[in-house]
Amino acid sequence: MITETERLILRQFTEDDVEAIFQLNSIPEVLTYIPGDAFSSREQAATLLREVIFANYQEFGYGRWAVEHKADNQVIGFCGPKYITEFDEVELGYRYLPAYWGQGIGHEAAEAALAEFHHHGIEEAIALILEGNTGSEGVARKVGMQWREKNSFMGHRVNIYHKFL
């Protein structure tokens, strides 16, 4: 376990989380503001776990963390750091299943995650948020991130928020 809050457990992903990764990358509503195509198979989710998430844990000692909802013991999203090569910075990224939107979970998990960044030597963080994603911008602002600039990432216009930790 990385950390926990009243309602959530933030932990590293495991091989058992393939279904959660698949859901987070295949539901159209979730992917509205996410670059890339929806997953069509669980093998794509398993590949993402191995080649991106677990590889990040190995290379950097950190990566996206599973967000488990204590009330139902389900992985409902992710929140955590990821090194973004294109900007040479660490991003706080987050994504949740729609059933959990509007409950303050994004803010709760983001605050808890940011509090752990210093354990990994991370002194500042950015959030790359596609234009129009007001929900994610709200989470970034609630955890004290400030708008820094508009830029491009993976072929999309993004607002970049920033925070010194």
Predicted TM-score (pTM) of this structure: 0.96
Structure tokens at 134: 């007001």
C-alpha gyration radius of the chain? 15
Confidence of residue 140 (pLDDT cuts 50, 70, 90): very high
pLDDT of 21:
99
> CA of 129: how far to CAs of 34, 153, 159, in Å?
9, 9, 5
pLDDT of 14:
99
Listed by start position, the domains of the chain span 3-164
- Calculate the average pLDDT of the chain: 98
Task: Summarize pLDDT for 73-88 with one digit per residue, the tens.
Answer: 999 999 999 999 999 9
CATH class of 3-164: alpha beta
Confidence of residue 103 (pLDDT cuts 50, 70, 90): very high
113: nearest Cα among 155, 143, 74: 143
| Mean pLDDT computed over 25-48 | 96
pLDDT of 127:
99
Distance CA(7)–CA(37), nearest Å, equals 31
